[in-house]
Amino acid sequence: MAYTIGVPKETVSGERLVALTPEVVLRLAKAGATINIESGAGSSAHYSDAEYEKVGGTITSRESALASDIVVKVQPPSDDEIALLKQNGAYIGFLSPLDRPQVSAALALRGTTALSMEMVPRISRAQKMDALSALSSIGGYRAVLEAATKLPKFFPLLTTAAGTVRPSNVLILGAGVAGLQAIATARRLGAKVSAYDIRDAVKEEVQSLGARFVELEIEAQDSSDSGGYAKALMEEKAKQQVELLIPTIAKSDVVISTALIPGRKAPLLISEAAVKAMADGSVIVDMAASNGGNCELTEPGQTVVRHGVTIMGGTNLPADMPVHASQLYARTLLAMLQDFTDENGFAPNEEDEVFVGSCVTRGGEVVHERVKSLLNQA
């Protein structure tokens, strides 16, 4: 008997993505799975029920989608959704396990084997499953577009009969996936771009995109961990960094901050003093707003004006581009499903580095050590 994969409609406010697109449903159906899609699950991403049915999907109720053998989602499941999951079934999707470990605890009580897309190890074989990078790239692109629409200036250099318009100065804080995409996008729009990161290792990547790498006189040795994430600076160095960034921020028309460390409050990079030093009409897009923000004046989920500067604290920029965001996310889920299912359904592999790294709950327990540690501290 074919195993079932459920795709419930996302209900978190502002979320427009769908976990599986028709393209991916077609491939899974051909592999023998029955795909139970809640009616309307893809509507906000511009995928109709008819499109899913055309490729072999089954349009069903919310209860049936959540009761499937394997459930795939974008946002972490709510308590109500967890209560509807099949006992001892499987879940693959985002979980925010380091920020919301209680979700993992609830899944463990349900007997769910849960794979967290945030915890997929950053190794070569797992690149096709790297949902965070895929969506971060979209976020970086979108952040620049949002800034360009709010800034009361042109981005590019313009020469007209009435005179020359100088290009805008754009500063990117953090040169990870989102930051690099933001650099590339701002450059394509003609801005003069600078970027700062505590990791000297990314200097060449920044320069290869045509941006100037900002270097501060600050001791930041060993500022990358083995997973490729920036480590939090020690408190004294962090304060020094904030102060040293003020002159560079003050010269910028747009600042896009992307510094985010999973499971921690976003590091402060833009102080109120830095905001005050910016020109009236300048724009800050804080991509770390969901974890408190890199800017001292950010209000998560809100766009505010402080000291004449527009500060945008959007918490889900990829949701503003749901067609391609859903396509990329669905492909990372497809890669997970292909690796951890067989003709009989979900196929856990305790010998697989990706499975072990991303598995948060199994056998009625939270099995991921970092998540378990957070729960023990609570």
Per-residue CA distances from 300 to 182, 288, 314 (Å) = 20, 9, 6
SS (H, E, C) 1-16: CCCEEEECCCCCCCCC
C-alpha to C-alpha distance for 68 and 80, rounded to whole angstroms: 15
Contact 275, 255 (CB under 8 A): no
* Rg of the chain over all Cα atoms, to the nearest angstrom: 22
Q: Which residue has the tokens 């879940």?
A: 91
Contact 313, 300 (CB under 8 A): yes
Strands annotated E in the chain: 4-7, 34-38, 58-60, 70-73, 90-93, 113-116, 158-160, 163-165, 169-173, 192-196, 212-214, 254-257, 283-286, 303-306, 309-312, 341-342, 345-346, 359-362, 365-366
Per-residue CA distances from 205 to 111, 177, 187, 221, 304 (Å) = 44, 11, 14, 19, 32
Q: So which residues are the catalytic ones?
A: 122, 127, 130, 133, 229
